[in-house]
């Protein structure tokens, strides 16, 4: 036995998770060290380019703040990117194939440029659409209608939302009253329909705030949270005021952008048939092993009527870029399918499999196949998007790497390699910030900006 092993606590003294962390050879490691062989093979270096690329600052930015979407990325990053290429592309057409809450489309429209977005989650598709298509609404009319809602229809929340762990009974009753009011408002013209959409957006945006939950970024209970019964009305009124204030700003300072063309499509980016060619693709894909974009939004989806049944939600989740919460059947079928492969992925898979076997158990024993499916999904999407990229166009992705069962997965470098295989040149890989691994807190991961160019 090595001296170091001798000093380590035994499994009975620790939880299994703590035990594996204590024994991990990845403690105090860095992704940069583990990336060396991959970088050498690609013949590139990672450049330091520290910058804020997270959503948080967006909560103070006009329009972006209409929805609190923590997984989104920074509007300022999108702005810097648009400015960087302003001279090279005169009136670029921009695509985000993972539009989420619409950071790229909104910021692109604020620059007076044509935007396209693709998003598969119907709630996020609704959010991104509502944030990009209602800029001509009269703010006074929005304020007035939202202050005089009267409930002629009776809205009842789906039963799975009626748990007091999620909402205090008084809050739930007031949310139902508020939704009844919004649904009773019958649009008489196009502007009214837009007002209704903005009210639904405001409603969805306050749900977590007035619940007993928090999103950090995964959805979880927050036992210390105290929410007043009146909170839904107050939070809704405040959100509508924010929207009205921004509409006024748009209609005075951004008049030239109000009617800029654009579209957010509800579709799978792996299958969507593009009818346009793009100059710039700016995007942030789901991260390997990252969030479950269905469970994380099930509260808002339930209230707004997207994905009411378990079956619908499962189907949606299984069509998205894979996360480690997908059905086992999906992964079983995947192992039998024709799929993208390369030697890096094969090696990573076999190391993960060995580590899982050594541990004896793992949250998902099929993790090697989940990792493989992630890259297969990303390959299909990149291939489809690249086919619609103009010559001279760029594909810019913000992406994080992962540590899975003590195996380092250089997601950014694997995606860069795929881009090269699909005919793009790796123009740069820039490190924007360091992150900690969720498994081994002392292991330093990174978030990078990968720029690929169609020469
Ligand atoms: C990291 S988020 C993007 C956030 C976005 N940049 C923003 O600022 O709001 C990734 C998004 O990809 C979506 N998504 C996952 N699989 C998809 C697919 N196959 N086609 C289209 N969208 C997908 C998820 O629903 C999620 O909204």
CA of 61 relative to ligand 1 center, distance in Å: 21
CA of 140 relative to ligand 1 center, distance in Å: 33
Closest ligand 1 atom, residue 118 Cα: 21
**19 vs 433, more confident:** 433
Task: Kindly report the protein residue whose alpha carbon is nearest to atom 25 of ligand 1.
Answer: 121
pTM: 0.94
Closest ligand 1 atom, residue 102 Cα: 9
CB of 213 within 6 A of ligand 1: the answer is no
DSSP three-state, residue 390: strand
Q: For residue 157, give Cα distances in angstroms to 228, 243, 265, 370.
A: 19, 25, 27, 35
Question: And the tokens for 294?
Answer: 């269905």
Looking at the predicted structure, is the pLDDT value of residue 56 above 80? no
For a mutational test of ligand 1's pocket, the pick from 53, 120, 298, i.e. the residue with the most ligand atoms closer than 8 A to its C-beta, is: 120
**196-200, 266-270, 298-302: least confidently modelled range:** 298-302
CB of 120 within 6 A of ligand 1: the answer is yes
Instruction: Provide CB contacts within 8 A for 165, sequence distance 6+.
Output: 212, 221
State residue 451's pLDDT score.
98
pLDDT-derived band at 4, boundaries 50, 70, 90: very low
Task: Kindly report the protein residue whose alpha carbon is nearest to atom 12 of ligand 1.
Answer: 98
State residue 286's pLDDT score.
95
Question: And the tokens for 108?
Answer: 């692109």
Q: How far apart are CA 91 and CA 390, in angstroms?
A: 13
Question: And the tokens for 73?
Answer: 């990325």
CB of 98 within 6 A of ligand 1: the answer is yes
- Work out the mean pLDDT of the chain and round it to a whole number: 92
């Amino acid at each position: 036995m090595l001296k170091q092993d001798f000093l380590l606590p035994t499994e009975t003294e620790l939880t299994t998770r703590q035990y594996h962390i204590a024994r991990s050879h990845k403690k105090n490691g860095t992704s940069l060290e583990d990336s060396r062989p991959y970088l050498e093979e690609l013949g590139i270096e990672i450049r330091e380019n520290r910058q804020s690329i997270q959503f948080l600052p967006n909560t103070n930015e006009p329009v972006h703040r209409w929805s609190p979407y923590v997984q989104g990325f920074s509007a300022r990053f999108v702005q810097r990117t648009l400015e960087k290429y302003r001279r090279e592309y005169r009136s670029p057409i921009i695509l985000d194939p993972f539009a989420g809450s619409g950071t790229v489309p909104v910021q692109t429209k604020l620059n007076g440029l044509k935007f396209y977005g693709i998003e598969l989650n119907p709630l996020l598709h609704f959010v991104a659409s509502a944030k990009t298509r209602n800029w001509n609404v009269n703010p006074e009319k929005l304020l007035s209608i939202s202050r005089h809602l009267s409930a002629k229809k009776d809205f009842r929340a789906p039963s799975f939302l009626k748990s007091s762990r999620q909402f205090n009974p008084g809050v739930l009753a007031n949310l139902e009253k508020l939704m009844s009011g919004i649904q009773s408002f019958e649009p008489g013209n196009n502007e009214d329909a837009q007002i209704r959409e903005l009210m639904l957006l405001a409603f969805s945006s306050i749900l977590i705030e007035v619940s007993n939950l928090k999103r950090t970024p995964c959805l979880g209970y927050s036992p210390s949270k105290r929410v007043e019964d009146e909170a839904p009305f107050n939070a809704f009124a405040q959100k509508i005021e924010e929207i009205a204030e921004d509409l006024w700003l748009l209609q005075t300072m951004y008049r030239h952008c109000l009617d800029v063309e654009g579209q957010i499509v509800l579709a799978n980016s792996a299958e969507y048939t593009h009818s346009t060619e793009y100059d710039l693709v700016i995007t942030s894909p789901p991260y390997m092993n990252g969030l479950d974009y269905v469970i994380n939004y099930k509260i808002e989806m339930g209230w707004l009527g997207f994905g009411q049944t378990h079956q619908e939600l499962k189907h949606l989740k299984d069509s998205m870029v894979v996360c480690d919460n997908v059905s086992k059947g999906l992964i079983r079928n995947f192992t039998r399918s024709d799929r993208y492969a390369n030697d890096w992925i094969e090696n990573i898979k076999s190391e993960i499999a060995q580590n899982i076997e050594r541990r004896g158990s793992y949250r998902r024993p099929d993790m090697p196949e989940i990792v493989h499916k992630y890259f297969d999904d990303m390959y299909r999407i990149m291939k489809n998007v690249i086919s619609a990229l103009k010559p001279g166009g760029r594909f810019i992705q913000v992406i994080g790497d992962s540590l899975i069962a003590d195996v380092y997965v250089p997601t950014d470098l694997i995606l860069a390699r795929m881009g090269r295989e699909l005919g793009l040149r790796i123009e740069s890989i820039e490190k924007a910030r360091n992150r900690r691994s969720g498994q081994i807190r002392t292991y330093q991961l990174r978030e990078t900006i990968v720029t690929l160019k169609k020469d």
